[in-house]
């Protein structure tokens, strides 16, 4: 068990006490709920993942709480993976194409080319 010991002026400690308790309570709740889902799926091939949708300013902490509960992090931001949805396939279609939309294979190929071309331009030098 972990505990926190702090000292200082009582007025200052009492001023932040409720804030810290709410803060820890929220993160503990995320970890506890994640643990319950992990236990419910134990013995299966399922893994419990979080979502990218988090409380503004809390992303790293909430994702850490999921890991503490035994869950997995999906991704931290849009920059970590390419997600191609149906509306992307339809949007990418050009008027000169025979098909009114890209096939999933075409979209993946185009996304790989795009990432390869742009990664070289945006990655810091090593």
Write the pLDDT tens digit of every residue in 46-68.
999 998 788 899 999 999 999 99
Q: Catalytic site residue 85?
A: no
- Residue 52 and residue 87: Cα distance in Å, rounded? 20
How many other C-beta atoms are found inside a 10 Å radius of the C-beta of residue 110?
14
Question: What's the mean per-residue pLDDT of the chain?
Answer: 81
- Residue 45 and residue 47: Cα distance in Å, rounded? 7
**What global pTM score does this model have?**
0.62
Catalytic residue among 45, 53, 85, 121: 53
Q: Which residue has the higher pLDDT, 46 or 87?
A: 46
């Amino acid at each position: 068990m972990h505990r926190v010991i702090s000292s200082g002026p009582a007025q200052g400690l009492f001023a932040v006490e409720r804030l810290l308790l709410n803060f820890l309570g929220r993160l503990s709740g995320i970890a506890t709920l994640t643990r319950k889902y992990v236990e419910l799926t134990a013995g299966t091939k399922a893994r419990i993942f979080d979502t990218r949708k988090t409380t503004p300013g809390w992303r790293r902490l909430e994702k850490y709480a999921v890991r503490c509960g035994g869950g997995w992090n999906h991704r931290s931001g849009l920059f970590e993976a390419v997600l191609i949805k149906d509306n992307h396939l339809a949007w990418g279609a050009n008027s000169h194409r025979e098909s009114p939309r890209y096939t999933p294979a075409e979209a993946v190929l185009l996304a790989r080319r795009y990432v390869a071309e742009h990664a070289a331009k945006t990655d810091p030098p090593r």
